[in-house]
A and B are shown apart, each in its own frame.
Chain A
Amino acid sequence: MRAIGMGKEVRLRTPLDESAVRDLSIGDIVHLDGKAFAIAYAFQFQRALDELKGGKPLPMDLEGSAILHFPTCFKEEGGRWRIVYFGPTTSSKFNKVTPEFIRAFKIRAIVGKGGMDDAVMAAMMEVGCAFLQAIGGCAVIYTKGVEEITNVYWQERHWTYAVVELKLRDFGPLIVTMDVKGRRLGKEERGP
């Protein structure tokens, strides 16, 4: 494993500009502002792809967005959603469905934990998407970076599996561990 120092610190707004993502290098520290989606179950990624293929209009606009592999705890209060807490889960659980998902929705950033496999890397390099590592176990820091939950989708199975649309404000720190040049920081991992 190559030791690498810290890179530049950048604050980016979503939807992310492709050139801004291509400028990111491993070791850079990113904070995000703007719209993002928390999706933490493989079957929800698959559902989005299936509905797109079936020609069904999706209830949310995923095009060019940032995806957070963050299981989310929220509460409905007076017709609005309040975030209780959220934080990163292991991203390699979504290796299989992610290359197609990145290509289909032109995803610009994936925020998670532990990196993803080479097929995901290939899709990231092609589309212009970076993997941003969140620090595991830091639910308080990341929850503070959520201004509000703007919508919640696909709760049929159970609310804990929902796709959550968020508005982020100074959300981070996130460390670039897979960049568009195909470089990695740390080793790829599997499992939860």
Chain B
Amino acid sequence: MPITRELLFDVAVELFERATRSVPSDTLEALEKALKTETNELARYVLAMMLKNARMASESNTVVCQDTGLPTFFLKIGTDVEIEADVKKVLAEAVEKVSLEFPYRAAFVHPIFRDSAPLIVGGGIPIVICDTLPRADFIEIAMSPQPSGPEFWSRIEMISPPSDPLGAVKGFVLETVNRAGGAACPPMVVGVGLGGDMGEVAKLAKLASIRPINERNPDPELASLEEEMRALLNGTGIGPMGLGGDTTVLAVNIEVEYCMKAWLPMAVCLRCWTNRRARARIYNDGRVEHL
């Protein structure tokens, strides 16, 4: 039995609402943990307010942040799945419905001709990124709004392979976080992409940025690099909202693919403390599993 347009629409609506009106449980846990270990009094006060705001948003079903972000869907489409709908169109309709009903502020303009009325969908919005899953009979949808501040301070760079690639990567990530300072609303999740080509490295950083906080890279060397980078970035003293403290990042997630001999592509995608995202699977038989 194929997945119907109605089912896809309802799940997309629910995901967009959840992603803009709550902070994911892994992120709340990481913030709670930071509140216990943070040594700076003002930083603890800021973290406590963040947790309070997240709780209030969930309880009252209202937006966590005034910046509801650029809506982005990450799809994994099982090769055995059957969908009776124009997927991208249905996702846009779901975003439009939620945005108009609440309402959310229209925020999207032409990059050059900026004077016209801002849009809520259209002109390429929402962004939809697709991948396939062999033999799976479901579609997995991760919805994540990309907020203005952290996204603005995210970076991509292509360099010649240096004599010390690891040192170059660490330096690039550290510099990116230092440049962002409080403007990206720390404590952040830092998604790092390494390798691929220009498009792939950006996608790797994006995918790294939506990975669960406590899930390390399966490669033990990269997993220990993630831990090492986390400690390094927390040593900057930037702290929650850039006001000082030990809690600058909640996690560093690294994704790696091979690249040409002549390159070292690097990308860093920053996520603010709200780390908003929601994920679900829809199966051919109509079952919906929220992850």
Contact = CB atoms under 8 A, between A and B. Distances in A.
Interface of A: 1-6, 27, 29, 70-73, 75, 84-90, 92, 113-115, 133, 135-141, 143-144, 157-158, 160, 173, 175, 177, 185-187, 189-192
Contacts, number: 141
A89 B147 CA distance: 11
Contacts of B272: 136-137
Contact of A141 (B53, B242, B274): B53
B53 A140 contact: yes
Interface string B171-188: 000000000111101000
Interface in B46-97: 46, 49-50, 52-53, 56-57, 60, 62-67
Looking at chain B's contact residues, is the secondary structure mostly helix, strand, loop, or mixed? loop
Given A90-B183, A137-B53, A189-B181, A73 B241 contact: no
B181 A192 contact: no
Nearest to A191: B152
A186 to B, nearest CB: 4
Given A137-B185, A160-B118, A175-B42, A4 B67 contact: no
Given A136-B272, A137-B53, A141-B52, A73 B66 contact: yes
* Residue among B53, B102, B153, B180 facing the most chain A CB atoms (10 A cut-off): B53
A71 B50 contact: no
Contact of B49 (A70, A138, A185, A192): A138
Contact of A177 (B62, B117, B243): B243
Given A85-B66, A137-B273, A175 B183 contact: no
B106 A158 contact: yes
Interface residues of B, number: 47
A71 B49 contact: no
B104 interface: yes
Interface string B229-271: 0000000011101111100000000000000000000000000
Contact of B241 (A6, A135, A158, A160): A135
16 contacts: A71-B67, A84-B102, A88-B66, A115-B182, A136-B149, A137-B53, A137-B65, A137-B185, A137-B273, A140-B53, A141-B52, A141-B53, A160-B106, A175-B46, A187-B182, A187-B238
A2 to B, nearest CB: 7
A140 to B, nearest CB: 4
B42 A136 contact: no
Interface in B107-130: 107, 115, 117-118
B58 to A, nearest CB: 9
B167 interface: no
B148 interface: yes
Contacts of A138: 49-50, 53, 65
Nearest to B60: A140
A4 B244 contact: yes
B220 interface: no
Nearest to A90: B183
Given A84-B103, A135-B50, A140-B56, A4 B42 contact: yes
A160 B105 CA distance: 6
Contacts of A139: 53, 57, 62-66
B181 A114 contact: yes
A160 B50 contact: no
B227 interface: no
A137 B103 contact: no
Contacts of B217: none
Contacts of B273: 136-137
Given A71-B105, A114-B181, A189-B181, A85 B243 contact: no
* Residue among B57, B102, B149, B183 facing the most chain A CB atoms (10 A cut-off): B183
The 10 closest A-B pairs by CB, nearest first: A87-B66, A136-B185, A138-B53, A189-B183, A140-B56, A137-B65, A186-B242, A192-B148, A192-B152, A186-B243
Nearest to A88: B66
A95 B27 CA distance: 33
Contacts of B148: 89, 192
